[in-house]
Amino acid sequence: MSDLPREMEEEVLSRLPVTSLRDLRSTCKTWNTLTKRESFLNRHVFEEEEAAAKKKQRKVVMVQEHRVYLMNVDLLYPSIERIGNLNADGIDISNIFHCDGLFLCTTKDTRLVVWNPYLGQTKWIESRTSYHRWDRYALGHEKKKRHKVLRFVNDYDPSVKHRVCEFEIFSLDSNSWRVIDEDLTPDCTVSFLHRGLSLKGNTYWYAQEKLDLNGPPEIKKLPDFLLCFDFTTERFGPRLPLPFNAFFGDSVTLSSVGEEQLAVLLQRFTSPAFTVNIWITSKIEPNAVSWRNVFLSVDMKPLIGTLFSVFGGSFFVDEEKKVAVVLDKDRGKSWPPTRNIACIIGNNGYFKQVDLGESIGKWCYSIVCPYVPSSLQITRQLEEHTP
């Protein structure tokens, strides 16, 4: 191999699966350098996409039982198969946020790590003071691709008997935290159940009007909307309208469609109960959004007999096949549920259920993210952590 021209060497190595790259890079310095080049990434992604297209398959990243896996999804002959364990250091992951091939992971012991699974690079982020149990996070970047982490908490903390309000940004350029103006606090509520979704460098949340504790308890009719944090201006944008109005008990989840569109899933708790509706944006920016007609509408009652959990419902859509894959637990047979499942749903009653394995943690729900290989060297901005 050492006698081959570099281009031919790239051609040969690019045919290896992504799950073999870690072992390949540890073989020699030359291959470690070669496989981190942009030219190799482009060639390798092309080879993988070609192979997946021929088999009508796609790859996603999935968190299950605190572990992160690369999964192969076959929607033609429905199956979801683990093809690699991506977990950095075997750490227990409680939540994950994706942006352009990078991941921000929170651990069970409330630590933060930035991770590029394609390059196998990780970096632990030390807190400025201390992390808070109600912290929310977002991963995004400026227009010039300078990546940042937003940390904010704006909740009543019963342990200290007052509201905690903190906003700060970690810059991957400077490797440091910076407190930002609390005046940017949005006048709304972002539920702790909603993770947020990064798209085109900005992060969107499903949000609701704040409940007036001194007024009538109209919690079933609180206005809801999308809220965006713009990582270039470091400010929250205006409220963006949704194609529905959700009520107390309804499940709402966000997902991305490619790199330019956002999808939202709504499942009603009340009439029409059990029905899942999914919409996709035709345009979305920090200060504007427009929606297409309903992409998918499916009554889940005759299919699974239960509602998706408000803790679950992580999903993705395949526009070409006009189906959605929704992750949850099989709660129809026992409590606590013992199996993780994926429901593949489509129009005209199309339904397939895929068993994703044993469910050990009662409140540990699967999360799905897009698989987007990235050659971004976070070691150029951050000190690398080597397992």
pLDDT at 227: 93
In a domain, 100, yes or no: yes
Domain end (from 10, 32, 54): 54
CATH classification of the domain holding 357 = 2.120.10.30
What tens digit of pLDDT does each residue of 75-122 get?
888 899 988 777 656 778 888 999 988 999 988 888 888 888 888 788
pLDDT, tens only, 221-244: 678 999 999 999 999 999 999 999
pLDDT above 70 for 179: yes
pLDDT score at 57: 76
Query: Domain for residue 165, yes or no?
Result: yes
Question: Residue 223 half-sphere exposure, CB side, CA atoms within 13 Å?
Answer: 10
Residue 387 has pLDDT above 60, yes or no: no
What domain range includes position 8?
1-54
The pLDDT of residue 383 is 43
Summarize the confidence of residues 32-39 as an average pLDDT.
77
Let me know whether 129 and 238 are in one domain: yes
Instruction: Average the pLDDT over 336-340 and give the result.
Output: 85
Within a domain: 302: yes
CA 381 to chain centre: 23
Q: Is residue 386 part of a domain?
A: no
Residue 265 lies in a domain: yes
Q: Do residues 31 and 64 both lie within one domain?
A: no
Residues 12 and 147 both lie in one domain: no
Higher pLDDT, residue 270 or 171: 171
Mean pLDDT in residue range 263-272: 88
Q: Do both 94 and 43 map to the same domain?
A: no
Quick one: what percent of the chain has pLDDT higher than 90?
Answer: 36
Q: Are residues 42 and 170 in the same domain?
A: no
Domain check: are 176 and 302 in the same one?
yes
Does 281 lie in the same domain as 186? yes
Residue 256 pLDDT class (50, 70, 90 cuts): very high
Given this model, what pLDDT does residue 384 score? 41
Rounded to whole angstroms, how far apart are CA atoms 152 and 168? 6
Cα–Cα dist 327/251, whole Å: 13
- Do 137 and 156 reside in the same domain of the chain? yes
Q: Which of 9, 26, 54 is the last residue of a domain?
A: 54
Q: Please report the pLDDT score of residue 307 as a whole number.
A: 85
Say if residue 41 is in the same domain as residue 107.
no
- pLDDT: which is higher, 219 or 32: 32
Residue-level pLDDT at 54: 58
Residue 387 in domain:
no
User: Do 17 and 102 lie in a common domain?
Assistant: no
| Whether residue 356 is found in the same domain as residue 241 | yes
Same domain, 161 and 72: yes
- How many domains does the structure of the chain reveal? 2
Last residue of a domain, one of 54, 74, 90: 54
Q: How confident is the model at residue 145 (pLDDT cuts 50, 70, 90)?
A: confident
Are 325 and 343 a contacting pair, CB within 8 Å? yes
* Predicted confidence (pLDDT) per residue in 268-322, tens digit: 888 778 899 999 999 999 999 999 999 999 999 898 888 888 888 899 999 988 9
Residue 385 lies in a domain: no
CB atoms within 10 A of CB 91: 20
Q: Is the pLDDT of residue 3 over 70?
A: no
Within-domain flag for 245 = yes
Q: Compute the mean pLDDT over every residue in the chain, rounded to the nearest whole number.
A: 83
